């Protein structure tokens, strides 16, 4: 079960990144080109937020069954000094939770906006912050601090 969930979580990150990039491109374009907010924009906002929530749910479940986080929780004093264990036990999970909260706030705020430019602007700003948090907290294969394969 752990391996399957790890693979699913690893592959789903690409969906999250793709949806975030697409919605940001559309939102910045809508904001600066002053285009109307369409039903497809609303659907994309809802879908992106839902995929982020799904990835967070997978991550929380993975956190609960992971041997790495189990070691982190039960050996905190030693684990806090081990970069990889600390990253997955504390840094990755808290930053990703923060990213999903930021994206959810942006989605909620944009939903309440009446003006179409404000909808685009709200999504662009909040989802950009969320994407930056996500990008800073993914264990990239090229990272000198902590790395995992791009595709499992």
What are the start-end ranges of the E strands in 1-134?
none
Which tokens go with 81? 């000094």
pLDDT band of residue 69 (cuts 50, 70, 90) is very high
Among 2-11, 70-79, 136-145, which is the least confidently predicted range? 136-145
Dihedral angle, C-alpha 12, 144, 132, 29, nearest 10 °? -80
> Given the structure tokens 């950009």, which residue do they identify?
128
Res. 18 pLDDT band, cuts 50 70 90: very high
Confidence of residue 144 (pLDDT cuts 50, 70, 90): confident
Q: What is the pTM of this model?
A: 0.92
Residue 3, burial from CB neighbour count under 10 angstroms (0-12, 13-18, 19+): exposed
Report domain extents, the chain.
2-137
CB atoms within 10 A of CB 32: 12
Cα gap 99→80, rounded to integer Å: 22
pLDDT average, residue stretch 4-11? 94
pLDDT per residue as tens digits for the range 79-120: 999 999 999 999 999 999 999 999 999 999 999 999 999 999
Output the six-digit token pair for 79: 């684990």
pLDDT reading at 148 higher than 90:
no
For the chain, the first-to-last Cα distance in angstroms comes to 15
Using 50, 70 and 90 to split pLDDT, how confident is the model at 140?
A: confident
**Is 125:106 a contact under the CB 8 Å cutoff?**
yes
pLDDT of 26 reads 97
Determine what percent of the chain is predicted with pLDDT higher than 70: 100
Average pLDDT, the chain: 94
Q: Give the pLDDT of residue 113.
A: 94
Instruction: Report the 10 Å Cβ neighbour count for 67.
Output: 8
């Amino acid at each position: 079960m752990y391996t399957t969930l790890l693979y699913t979580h690893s592959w789903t990150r690409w969906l999250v990144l793709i949806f975030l990039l697409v919605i940001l491109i559309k939102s910045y374009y809508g904001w600066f080109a002053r285009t109307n907010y369409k039903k497809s924009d609303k659907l994309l906002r809802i879908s992106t937020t839902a995929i982020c929530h799904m990835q967070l749910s997978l991550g929380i479940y993975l956190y609960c069954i992971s041997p790495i986080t189990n070691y982190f929780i039960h050996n905190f004093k030693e684990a806090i000094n081990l970069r990889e264990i600390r990253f997955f036990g504390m840094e990755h999970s808290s930053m990703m939770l923060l990213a999903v909260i930021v994206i959810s706030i942006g989605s909620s705020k944009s939903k309440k906006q009446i003006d179409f430019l404000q909808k685009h602007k709200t999504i662009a700003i909040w989802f950009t912050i969320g994407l930056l948090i996500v990008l800073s907290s993914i264990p990239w294969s090229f990272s000198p601090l902590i790395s995992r394969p791009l595709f499992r």
